[in-house]
């Protein structure tokens, strides 16, 4: 993949992207998982030191490189730590297709640490120069969600999986009651079917919320084999990163399981 303005914009697959001080914790952790061989969507991470004026000339080239659409997320130096995850605290923009929209998303994400929400959560605002920006190829997910390598409430050694049809945003933001699986091993796991009345999908015009057919909402969105695949992925990431993890995952239309994020569990 092309590199612009090195060392300020680097491919997520580059070992340079593991530098938390320049590229933030979220990007650094994903870069590490790529080094371990996990399936992570292609992307670039823009250094916390890069400004909007510097980013503008390369926005079109990045969109073209990651065609057809991208996800834009924060990667702050204080984000995804063992004590504070900042999950849902900073802005995220999904389904970006045009350079002008990428520029707007970059600005919004870059400056999302100055809100009262961040101040109430963290105790102080986080200035733009401490927030790197992660730009990745968008996965058009058929099913997506989160998984924990330990029970986040009790610390028990069991995997908790939550999922829904479409993009994982509906699970992460709590807009649906997702399917929930408590997984001990291949032979012992319990599935709770959630009320998945809506789902968020990727369209030609960005992301869109739509109703889920009743027959789909009343059954689990994941097969037994897919549950096992997510569980194995979660276990392996905990092993390789060396800490209990909270991950975001997605299956695409071809049935490929993608790792979208990985962070320490902060609630145990």
Q: Quote the percentage of the chain above a pLDDT of 70.
A: 97
Which residues of the chain carry a pLDDT beneath 50? 85
Does residue 73 form part of some domain? yes
Mark which of 106, 137, 168 sits at the end of a domain.
137
Q: What is the pLDDT of residue 87?
A: 62
| pLDDT, tens digit, 9 for 90 and up, residues 154-196 | 999 999 999 999 999 999 999 999 999 999 998 999 999 999 9
Q: Is residue 256 a part of any domain in this protein?
A: yes
Query: Which 3-state string (H, E, C) describes 191-202?
Result: EECCCCCEEEEE
* Domain stops at, among 137, 160, 190: 137
Say what the pLDDT of residue 155 is: 92
Looking at the structure, do residues 199 and 133 belong to the same domain, yes or no?
Answer: no
How is residue 167 written in tokens? Answer: 């993009």
**160 and 245 co-located in one domain:** yes
- Domain end point (choices 137, 160, 175): 137
173 and 255 in a common domain: yes
- Token readout for 232 is 């194995």
Which of 112, 104, 106, 175 has the alpha carbon at shortest distance from 145? Answer: 175
User: Please, what is the average pLDDT of the chain?
Assistant: 94
Instruction: Give the model confidence (pLDDT) of 107-129 as tens digits.
Output: 999 999 988 788 788 779 899 99
**How far is the C-alpha of 132 from the C-alpha of 21, rounded, in Å?**
10
Determine contact, residues 125/113, Cβ cutoff 8 Å.
yes
166 shares a domain with 55: no
Per the domain annotation, does 2 fall within a domain?
A: no
Q: What is the pTM of this model?
A: 0.95
At 144-153, the pLDDT tens digits run 999 999 999 9
Q: Is the bond preceding 68 in cis, omega lying within 30 degrees of 0? A: yes
Q: Which domain holds residue 192?
A: 141-264
| 234 domain-assigned | yes
Same-domain status, 52 and 147? no
CA–CA separation, 126 and 155 (whole Å) = 30
Q: Which residues pair with 202 in a beta bridge?
A: 207
Number of domains composing the chain: 2
Point out which residues pair with 44 in neighbouring strands: 11, 135
Question: Do 127 and 100 fall into the same domain?
Answer: yes
């Amino acid at each position: 993949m092309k590199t612009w303005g090195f060392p300020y914009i680097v491919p997520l697959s580059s070992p340079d992207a593991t530098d938390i001080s320049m590229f933030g914790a979220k990007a650094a952790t994903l870069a590490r998982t790529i080094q371990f061989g996990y399936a992570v969507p292609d992307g670039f991470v823009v250094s916390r030191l890069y400004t909007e004026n510097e980013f503008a000339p390369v926005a079109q080239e990045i969109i073209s490189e990651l065609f057809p659409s991208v996800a834009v997320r924060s990667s702050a130096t204080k984000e995804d730590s063992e004590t504070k995850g900042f999950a849902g605290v900073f802005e995220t923009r999904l389904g970006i297709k045009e350079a002008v929209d990428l520029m707007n998303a970059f600005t919004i994400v870059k400056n999302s640490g100055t809100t009262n929400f961040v101040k109430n959560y963290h105790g102080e605002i986080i200035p733009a120069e401490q927030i790197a920006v992660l730009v990745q190829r968008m996965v058009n997910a058929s099913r997506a969600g989160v998984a924990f390598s330990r029970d986040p409430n009790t610390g028990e050694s069991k995997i908790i999986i939550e999922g829904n049809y479409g993009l994982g945003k509906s699970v992460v933001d709590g807009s649906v009651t997702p399917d929930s699986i408590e997984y001990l091993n291949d032979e012992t796991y319990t599935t709770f079917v959630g009320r998945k009345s809506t789902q968020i999908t990727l369209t030609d015009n960005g992301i869109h919320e739509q109703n889920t057919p009743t027959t789909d909402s009343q059954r689990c969105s994941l097969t037994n084999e897919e549950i096992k695949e997510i569980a194995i992925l979660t276990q392996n990431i905990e092993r390789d990163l060396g800490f209990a993890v909270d991950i975001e995952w997605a299956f695409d239309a071809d049935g490929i399981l993608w790792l979208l994020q990985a962070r320490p569990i902060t609630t145990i």
